[in-house]
Amino acid sequence: MTVGKSVTMQDIADRVGVSKALVSMIFRGVPGPSAETKERVLAVAAELDYRPNRTAALLSLRRTHLIGVMTDIRNAFHAEMVEHMVAEAAQVGYEVVLGPVTPTHAEADVIETLLDFRCEAVVLLGPEASDDALGAWGARVPLVAVGRRIKGVDAVRADDSRGMSVTVDHLVGLGHRRIAHLTGGSGAIGRDRHAGYRRAMHRHGLDDVIRVVEGDFTEQCAPSAVVDLLADAGNRPTAIVAANDRSAVGLLDALQRQGVSVPGEISITGYDDSTLARMAHIDLTTVSQEPKEQASRAIRAAVERLDSGRTDAVSSVLRPRLVVRGTTGPVATHVV
Amino acid sequence: MTVGKSVTMQDIADRVGVSKALVSMIFRGVPGPSAETKERVLAVAAELDYRPNRTAALLSLRRTHLIGVMTDIRNAFHAEMVEHMVAEAAQVGYEVVLGPVTPTHAEADVIETLLDFRCEAVVLLGPEASDDALGAWGARVPLVAVGRRIKGVDAVRADDSRGMSVTVDHLVGLGHRRIAHLTGGSGAIGRDRHAGYRRAMHRHGLDDVIRVVEGDFTEQCAPSAVVDLLADAGNRPTAIVAANDRSAVGLLDALQRQGVSVPGEISITGYDDSTLARMAHIDLTTVSQEPKEQASRAIRAAVERLDSGRTDAVSSVLRPRLVVRGTTGPVATHVV
DNA sequence: TTGTAAGCGTTATCAT
DNA sequence: ATGATAACGCTTACAA
């Protein structure tokens, strides 16, 4: 199909009997044109179903007011942030173009595509590229990395270590001492959370009851972890801090199968405040990474570079928020 | 920030000492230019970090090869389809532009934006606009509606009624007769699935054991449904067909609390083959809506209109696929 | 094989 | 208040 020739400013101008410059002014709302011509132009435009050609406008403007957002579209947490970014960008006069990372479109491809669309800045959600690669991109275009520790480019993330700390604090406040940790593997995020756990335990003088079992961010790792943790009946943890919601849900299930009550005998916490955690029958105590705030800071960081000429990299580390739900409770008083 | 002047074909042409027309040909890979100039041009382009200005190219071409996809980014099922659409579109020489529906950007706004980007066709994932509104859009631009029954515009969806049928068939094959249905409310989808259940029961001559309890697509509705269904001990269903995975998971949980074993005493099925259903400890028998196939058909429908000049509306109704997992089993032999 | 020049639909400057 | 006219960066006949 040949895409139909669309109505242009010239068409309107001809029809009304004015110049297209005038039509342009009217559509951009600049003062000048008389109320009467304005009215006639608008009328004809409506009649012809005219829609301004953004492509042409941008070509001439050399500005696009586009912010590219690279995201793993399958990631619910990303989705939540994207939603807020769209709103935030609109408020400050920008529009978001999504660049979905998929099995067929790697990170580098996506960034290239975003740049092809003439995005003036790019926001990368959970980028996995190397620090060097990101630095190189950052030299070419205003770049904001979200959810990851990195220097030299703008960064926005939640403080995972601190998130784990407040979780442990919460449990200690409930009287728990034997608090175990189910890890999230050896990636950057898993490591940060693990470190946060250890630091918090240390701060409470609980070094001697630190207990760590290896996990992988999925529910699959939970059953064996539970077997491991419950093995020595006299030395059971009274609480388990999982590295994320998904593995926490796995724990919930495994414990239930073992007939261990939550939070009666063991308290459980997750991380992410995902949809899963909010489900009524799961009702998991977890940590929110403040997706809305991260989204708005990321957009603001990009816009600052674009509109206010900021050139030094800023790093925004958000304080995560503990969301107390039903899987944590006071430690059983009659512990052996 | 003034966006830096970028390097253009003219820059390359000047530097190499040729015309920009030649540079253009080289970048489009059209035959003509000599191998030698090609090489020089490419070298200079690389050196200058030249990137073709798609905006300018499109302006002159009057084709964009862009397909707009409107989606609820929070919907995991949409996300899965989008992923496949991106790949499918790339294969046939198109690119996907995502238009996320959010609280601040309604369906109509999103479609407008997509059109502003000069998308040549739009694919609407789960549109909620009226049939008339969709028809009107369809008259302006090639339009494919996904996941919804509609006439007059291209449509792609899975046959919900049939999906329920195969589910019931599966259960009947396992010896079940008292098969109940937990509905998904009174929307179009919930109604289709409900109808499919009734039809299948009828086909098996099980009209007299049809039993329907009202649900709402969330896990919240499950507990009361379970109370209701188990009330009369002598007349319990041996299987419950839920309208979607989420409410099925609610059933699983409620039954477990009641000490009813699944699938030992009661079999449970969901619908959607969501991530939830695939979780190891849930392992829910469910129905896949074939997201990949829907995605590819939707893109193909759009491209047919664009490239092959098809003008009559086509409707593609996919056969859903039963995914048997661990929550369904043979009916207990010692039923009262 | 290579160059020239006329668009494409805007915006913006400078006249009128 | 309105109109010419020159960009913007590319594609594409048509010419050389």
Radius of gyration of chain B (CA): 27
Q: Region A33-47: what's the mean pLDDT?
A: 91
| Residue B117: closest CA among B82, B79, B67 | B67
Burial class (CB in 10 A: 0-12, 13-18, 19+), B234: exposed
What is the CATH code of the structural domain delimited by A66-158+290-319? Answer: 3.40.50.2300
CATH class of B160-289+322-335: alpha beta
CB contacts of A49 in chain B (<8 Å) are 140
With CA of A16 and C1' of each nucleotide, the nearest comes out as D2
Contact A83 B100 (CB under 8 A): yes
CA–C1' A105–D5 (A)? 44
pLDDT digits (tens, 9 = 90+) for A168-223: 999 999 999 999 999 999 888 899 999 999 999 999 999 999 999 999 999 899 99
Q: Letter for the amino acid at B222?
A: A
pTM confidence score: 0.86
Q: Is the CB of A28 under 7 A from strand C?
A: yes
Q: Which CATH number fits domain A9-60: 1.20.1300, 1.10.260, 1.20.58, 1.10.357?
A: 1.10.260
Please enumerate in sequence order all residues whose Cβ is within 8 A of that of A249, keeping only pairs 6 or more positions apart, or say none: A219, A222, A270, A276, A277, A282, A284, B279, B281
pLDDT of the residue at A335: 46
Nucleotides in chain C with any atom closer than 7 Å to protein CB: 1-5, 7-13
CB contacts of B105 in chain A (<8 Å) are 86-87, 90
**CATH topology identical between A66-158+290-319 and A160-289+322-335:** yes
CA–C1' B51–D5 (A)? 29
Q: Is the CB of A61 under 7 A from strand C?
A: yes
pLDDT of the residue at A334: 58
CA–C1' A22–D3 (A)? 8
Q: Strand D neighbours with CB under 7 A?
A: A 17-22, 25, 31-34, 36-37, 56, 59-60, 62; B 5-6, 8-10, 20-21, 24-25, 27-28, 52-53, 56-57, 59-61
pLDDT digits (tens, 9 = 90+) for B284-334: 999 999 999 999 999 999 999 998 889 999 999 999 999 999 999 999 775
Residue A65's closest chain B neighbor by CA? B3
Both structure tokens of A270: 């997750």
Contact B95 A113 (CB under 8 A): yes
Residue B126 has pLDDT above 60, yes or no: yes
Contact A280 B80 (CB under 8 A): no
The strand pair at A143-146 and A121-125 is best described as parallel
Return the domain boundaries, chain A. Answer: 9-60, 66-158+290-319, 160-289+322-335
Q: Cβ distance A155 to A144 under 8 Å? A: yes
Q: Is the CB of B17 under 7 A from strand C?
A: yes
Rounded to whole angstroms, the Cα distance separating A153 from A194 reads 25
pLDDT of the residue at A336: 45
**Band of pLDDT at residue B75, cut at 50, 70 and 90:** confident
CA–C1' B10–C5 (A)? 15
Q: Region A272-286: what's the mean pLDDT?
A: 90
Chain B closest-CA separation from residue A200 CA (Å)? 31
Chain A closest-CA separation from residue B165 CA (Å)? 29
Q: Cβ distance A97 to A50 under 8 Å? A: no
pLDDT of the residue at A1: 36
Mutant choice from B27, B51, B73, B88 vs A, greatest count of A C-beta within 10 A = B73
